[in-house]
Amino acid sequence: QVQLVESGGGLVQPGGSLRLSCAASGSIDGISIMGWFRQAPGSQREPVALIVGSESPKYAESAKDRFTIASDNAKNTVSLQMNSLKAEDTAVYYCYILAGARPLWGQGVQVIVSS
């Protein structure tokens, strides 16, 4: 069973930056979507940034102009560069890959934006 392993979370002050990374433990065929979701306390999990096939990345409105997603399908990795972080970005961030009809999730990485 292929697993997604995330890294890069932590505590950062408002206005700071973090880079999240996600790598698969093995090869994955038939990837159609790679991306990141997040879930804040008391809220539902929501998409932050997605790459669908060869299309341009799609961002949640709250992430536009601050976050940048990048992927390497050959290496089965996806990253999320987060700049100008705000307190409302505090959440657990999850890596997501859809391969065929099989959704894969990372274990989640905590991001806390606080002074």
pLDDT at 75 over 90: no
Average the pLDDT over each of 7-16, 20-29, 56-65 and give the range with the smallest value.
20-29
The reported pLDDT for the residue numbered 1 is 84
Cα separations in angstroms, 87 against 3, 37, 78, 91, 101: 30, 17, 24, 9, 35
| Percentage with pLDDT > 90 across the chain | 84
Contact 58, 50 (CB under 8 A): yes
The reported pLDDT for the residue numbered 109 is 97
Confidence of residue 17 (pLDDT cuts 50, 70, 90): very high
Torsion of CA 14, 20, 1, 33, to 10 degrees: 100
pLDDT at 87 over 90: yes
